[in-house]
């Protein structure tokens, strides 16, 4: 079928998945009984008393009705944007407000990591397969293996110990320990409140918008170690899959034909082998996003980097239901969209699967 | 060269029995140095766990179920040979004892989690594939639901609603992990179901349960066991990561590698050993598990079995 019909079909298939996601969240909310569900919507700072609020929520969500009916009312509230309240040490207010505040920082971290992983991982994997069993290949495999086995948060702590303190050598103390920016620099800025910056919530952009290049540079410096931590763990998987799929591709008959025809090795690799090797890598991108999103939670906790993962762990530690619900939904949504993107790219590259 | 007696059956009929194939697999694994190294590491960790269980004082761990704080010297102190070989961490806990005890706890809970997840997943996968039809469709949609959220986040969410004890964390991870096994088992069952020997069995009158137990189960269980050994390394990381984030209550004295790292988090810069050594214990185990798992997978790859 044509590409556009495939894309349309794939997008339509995402809708039931999204509803399934809401179903999971609804079930989770009900596991602990109604008190948690009600607690997620109570506004602590409102003038209305808690008992009155609870009665109102009870009425709105029809909590005395059978479960299916409750799901529909809950879903209606959910789709209208009422995702509950969160109150953690980082932020108190509506869940949607928290997501808008914290998502950009996490996206910055994830995008930088994803770019690094793609730029370094894929060419290294290809080169490693081409120079199979050479020293380069062995070295790459060892590094990939290390990245695969190392605990993400331990790597972050290791990087902090080496590069953000004087323990190993005072000459290596290049980067700051944690946080998104040096608090002394933003102390007098009105556009930086509660750990998040004002117009776009993206510290890097806002620093430029508000005309503070020094904050811009400082924010970038604060990004280096978290991005490295996140990248190293995930790059291992990409390296492995690229290498093995490139190897399979190089063993194919059409490669032998290309060589027999007298094409240069460079042409054989670049034009024929690599293109076909990238197909499994695209499907790996879904797995990559899952690992990235999981790693983001750990990395933000280690580096005190104010983002979605950090808010999630604070919600966990404070027993904040709205926060957990919001984080789960956003991460699930991101994952589903990323898989959708990967499937579309896959359909574009490989016409065979567009049945 | 290959020892011919491993491959041929006694009557030289040209077929190999299952035990002969197992012996061949073991032989190939133990010919590869990285796999041997991995096996040695896993063996060492298992021995430590068993000693912890049987007679902890042998390796100098007086109390394997709880870390022993020393409030007289709460500040972490660096390694000192006879008394604190690896130093101490936050409320005066001796790091060597804590790590030795934690290894057993980690290994035990990871094994429990993987086996539970594998059991649930395999049962669901095999029944879905065997019964087929709408049942299969419905179960697969159900499985896909679980796979739509990144597993660490999902484990955090499930764990949050289940509770903060270590058993709740384990249950949460198992509940998030089973879909992978369901998919895998289903794929295996589907490919076995179509085989000739199953049809032959059915033709000779073997009923449903007979087919499952004689044909499907043995052929599904072997790849599942391989997958289990590959997963142990990942699961122990997730388990430690959840404890690091702070699932267990803050006064918990249950020795666990992730909890140790999170206890020492505040002191990471001023006293690096408090996070270095527990993490190293995790890293070495993960390396061992992955090396052995890779060796196992390569050994089972049909291209390597001449």
The string of pLDDT tens digits covering residues B74-88 is 777 787 777 777 888
Query: A287 pLDDT exceeds 50?
Result: yes
Angle at B22 between CA B21 and CA B27, to 5 degrees: 95
Q: How far is CA B31 from CA A31, A64, B27, B295, in A?
A: 51, 65, 6, 9
H-helix segments, chain A: 3-31, 34-41, 50-60, 67-79, 95-116, 122-130, 135-149, 152-163, 183-186, 203-209, 213-250, 253-260, 265-267, 274-303, 308-318, 321-349
Are residue A13 and residue A152 in the same domain, yes or no?
Answer: no
pLDDT in tens, B92-130: 788 888 888 888 889 999 999 999 999 999 988 888 888
Are residue A292 and residue A154 in the same domain, yes or no?
Answer: yes
Query: Of A167, A312, A336, which is closest to B156 when you measure between CB atoms?
Result: A312
pLDDT number for residue B304: 59
In a domain, A66, yes or no: yes
Q: Of A92, A108, A126, which residue constitutes the final position of a domain?
A: A92
pLDDT number for residue B10: 52
> pLDDT averaged over chain A?
81
The answer to whether B41 and B284 have CB atoms below 8 angstroms apart is yes
- In the stretch 60-79 of chain A, residues with CB closer than 8 A to chain B read none
Q: In degrees to the nearest 10, what's the CA dihedral of A69, A72, A74, A77?
A: -140
In a domain, A190, yes or no: no
Query: A350 pLDDT exceeds 80?
Result: no
Cα nearest neighbour of A20 on chain B: B145
CA dist B168 and A67 (Å) reads 25
Are residue A22 and residue A115 in the same domain, yes or no?
Answer: no
Q: Looking at the complex, does the CB of residue A34 fall below 8 Å from at least one CB of chain B?
A: no
- Residue among A310, A316, A330, A335 with most chain B CBs within 10 A, to mutate: A316
CA dist B132 and B126 (Å) reads 10
CB atoms B241 and A151 under 8 Å:
yes
In a domain, A212, yes or no: no
- In the stretch 137-166 of chain A, residues with CB closer than 8 A to chain B read 145-146, 148-154, 157-158, 160-161, 164-165
Q: Please count the structural domains in chain A.
A: 2
CB atoms B150 and A152 under 8 Å:
no
Are residue A338 and residue A265 in the same domain, yes or no?
Answer: yes
pLDDT in tens, B275-284: 888 999 999 9
pLDDT number for residue B7: 46
The answer to whether B149 and A335 have CB atoms below 8 angstroms apart is yes
The answer to whether B148 and A289 have CB atoms below 8 angstroms apart is no
Query: A183 pLDDT exceeds 80?
Result: no
pLDDT number for residue B120: 92
pLDDT number for residue B302: 65
Query: Of B145, B162, B283, which is closest to A20 when you measure between CB atoms?
Result: B145
Query: A44 pLDDT exceeds 70?
Result: no
pLDDT in tens, A252-262: 777 778 788 88
pLDDT number for residue A259: 81
Check residues B246 and B179 and name the one with the higher pLDDT: B179
- For residue B167 the two structure tokens come to 């058993």
Are residue A8 and residue A134 in the same domain, yes or no?
Answer: no
CB atoms B246 and A317 under 8 Å:
yes
In a domain, A42, yes or no: yes
Sequence-separated (6 or more) residues with CB below 8 Å from residue A274: A126, A246, A249
pLDDT number for residue A77: 81
In a domain, A71, yes or no: yes
pTM above 0.90, yes or no: no
* Nearest alpha-carbon partner for A334 in A71, A42, A102: A102
CB atoms within 10 A of CB A154: 26
Q: Of A92, A118, A152, which residue constitutes the final position of a domain?
A: A92
Are residue A139 and residue A256 in the same domain, yes or no?
Answer: yes
The answer to whether B155 and B176 have CB atoms below 8 angstroms apart is yes
> pLDDT averaged over chain B?
81
In a domain, A311, yes or no: yes
Burial label, A59 (beta-carbon count in 10 A; 0-12, 13-18, 19+): exposed
The answer to whether B158 and A28 have CB atoms below 8 angstroms apart is yes
Q: What's the longest Cα–Cα distance across chain A? A: 83
pLDDT number for residue A80: 82
In a domain, A258, yes or no: yes
CA distance A355 to chain B (A): 20
In a domain, A214, yes or no: no
Query: A135 pLDDT exceeds 60?
Result: yes
CATH of the domain at A252: 1.10.3720.10
Are residue A148 and residue A240 in the same domain, yes or no?
Answer: yes
Query: Of A149, A302, A316, which is closest to B283 when you measure between CB atoms?
Result: A149
Min mean pLDDT across A187-191, A265-269, B299-303 is at B299-303
Percentage of chain A with pLDDT > 90? 3
Which range of A146-150, A151-155, B195-199 scores highest in mean pLDDT? It is A151-155
pLDDT number for residue A340: 87
pLDDT in tens, B148-197: 888 888 888 888 888 778 888 889 899 889 998 888 888 888 887 777 67
Per-residue pLDDT, averaged over A131-153, amounts to 85
Using the structure block, give the residue that is written with the tokens 């088992």: B185
CA distance A327 to chain B (A): 8
Residue B8: which pLDDT band, with cuts at 50, 70 and 90? very low
Burial B161-187 (b: 16+ CB within 10 A, else e): bbebebebbbbbbbbbbbbbbbbbbbe
Task: Point out which residues pair with B80 in neighbouring strands.
Answer: B84
Residue B5: which pLDDT band, with cuts at 50, 70 and 90? very low
Q: How many CA atoms lie within 13 A of A150 on its CB side?
A: 23
Are residue A67 and residue A119 in the same domain, yes or no?
Answer: no
Are residue A104 and residue A67 in the same domain, yes or no?
Answer: no
- Residue among B137, B155, B160 with most chain A CBs within 10 A, to mutate: B160
pLDDT number for residue B16: 67
Are residue A107 and residue A131 in the same domain, yes or no?
Answer: yes
CB atoms A297 and B153 under 8 Å:
yes
Rg from Cα positions in chain B: 23
pLDDT number for residue B6: 45
Cα nearest neighbour of B248 on chain A: A317
CA dist B141 and A26 (Å) reads 17
Are residue A87 and residue A99 in the same domain, yes or no?
Answer: no
Q: Looking at the complex, does the CB of residue A35 fall below 8 Å from at least one CB of chain B?
A: no
The H or E element spanning position B93 is strand B93-94
Range of the domain at A268: 95-176+222-354
Residue B50: which pLDDT band, with cuts at 50, 70 and 90? confident
The answer to whether A61 and B190 have CB atoms below 8 angstroms apart is no
Q: Of A47, A76, A92, which residue constitutes the final position of a domain?
A: A92
- In the stretch 277-296 of chain A, residues with CB closer than 8 A to chain B read 289-291, 293-295
Which range of A33-37, A68-72, A191-195, A326-330 scores highest in mean pLDDT? It is A326-330
Are residue A106 and residue A165 in the same domain, yes or no?
Answer: yes
CB atoms B150 and A335 under 8 Å:
yes
Per DSSP, A92 falls in state E
């Amino acid at each position: 079928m044509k590409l556009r019909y495939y894309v349309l079909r794939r997008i339509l298939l995402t809708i039931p998945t999204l509803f399934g996601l809401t179903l999971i969240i609804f079930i989770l909310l009900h596991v602990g009984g109604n008190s948690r569900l009600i607690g997620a919507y109570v506004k602590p700072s409102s003038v209305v008393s808690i008992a009155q609020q609870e009665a109102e929520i009870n009425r709105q969500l029809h909590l005395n009705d059978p479960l299916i009916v409750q799901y529909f009312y809950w879903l209606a509230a959910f789709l209208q944007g009422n995702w509950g309240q969160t109150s953690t040490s980082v932020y108190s207010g509506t869940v949607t407000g928290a997501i808008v505040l914290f998502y950009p920082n996490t996206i910055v971290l994830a995008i930088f990591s994803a770019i690094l992983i793609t730029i370094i991982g894929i060419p290294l994997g290809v080169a490693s397969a081409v120079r199979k069993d050479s020293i380069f290949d062995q070295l790459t495999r060892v590094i990939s293996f290390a990245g695969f086995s190392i605990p993400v948060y331990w790597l972050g702590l290791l990087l902090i110990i080496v590069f953000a303190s004087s323990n190993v050598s005072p000459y290596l103390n290049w980067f700051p320990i944690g946080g998104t920016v040096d608090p002394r620099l933003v102390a007098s800025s009105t556009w930086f409140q509660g750990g998040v910056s004002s117009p776009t919530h993206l510290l890097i952009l806002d620093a430029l918008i508000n005309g503070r290049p020094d904050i811009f540079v400082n924010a970038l410096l604060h990004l280096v170690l978290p991005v490295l931590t996140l990248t190293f763990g995930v790059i291992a998987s990409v390296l492995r899959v690229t290498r093995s799929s490139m190897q399979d591709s190089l063993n194919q008959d059409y490669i032998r034909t290309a060589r027999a025809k007298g094409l240069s090795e460079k042409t054989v690799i670049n034009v024929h082998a690599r293109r076909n090797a990238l197909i499994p890598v695209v499907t790996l991108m879904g797995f990559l996003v899952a690992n990235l999103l999981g790693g983001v939670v750990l990395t933000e906790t280690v580096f005190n980097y104010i983002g979605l993962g950090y808010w999630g762990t604070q919600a966990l530690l404070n027993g904040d239901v709205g926060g957990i619900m919001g984080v789960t939904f956003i991460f699930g949504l991101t994952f589903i969209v990323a898989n959708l993107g990967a499937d579309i790219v896959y359909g574009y590259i490989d016409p065979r699967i567009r049945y | 060269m290959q020892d011919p007696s491993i491959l041929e059956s006694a009557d030289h009929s040209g077929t190999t029995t299952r035990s002969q194939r197992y012996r061949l697999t073991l032989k190939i694994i133990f010919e590869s140095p990285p796999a041997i190294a991995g096996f040695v590491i896993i063996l060492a960790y298992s021995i430590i766990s068993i000693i912890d269980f049987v007679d902890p004082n042998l390796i100098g761990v007086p109390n394997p179920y709880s870390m022993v704080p020393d409030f007289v010297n709460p500040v972490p102190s660096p390694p000192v040979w006879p008394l604190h070989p690896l130093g101490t961490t936050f409320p005066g806990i001796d790091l060597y004892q804590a790590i030795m005890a934690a290894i057993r706890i980690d290994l035990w809970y990871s094994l429990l989690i993987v086996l539970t997840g594998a059991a649930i997943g395999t049962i669901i996968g095999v029944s879905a594939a065997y019964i087929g039809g709408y049942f299969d469709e419905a179960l697969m949609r159900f499985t896909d639901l679980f796979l739509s959220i990144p597993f660490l986040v999902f484990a955090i969410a499930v764990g949050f609603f289940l509770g903060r004890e270590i058993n709740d964390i384990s249950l949460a991870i198992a509940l998030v992990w089973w879909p992978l096994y369901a998919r895998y088992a289903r794929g295996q069952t589907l490919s076995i179901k179509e085989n000739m020997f199953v049809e032959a069995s059915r033709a000779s009158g073997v009923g449903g349960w007979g087919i499952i137990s004689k044909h499907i189960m043995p052929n599904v269980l072997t790849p599942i066991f391989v997958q289990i050994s590959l997963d142990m390394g990942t699961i122990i990381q997730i388990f430690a990561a959840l404890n690091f984030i702070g699932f267990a209550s803050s006064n918990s004295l249950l020795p666990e590698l992730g909890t140790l790292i999170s206890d020492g988090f505040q002191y990471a810069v001023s006293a690096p050993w408090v996070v270095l050594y527990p993490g190293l214990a995790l890293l070495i185990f993960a390396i061992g598990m992955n090396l052995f798992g890779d060796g196992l997978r390569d050994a089972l790859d049909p291209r390597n079995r001449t």
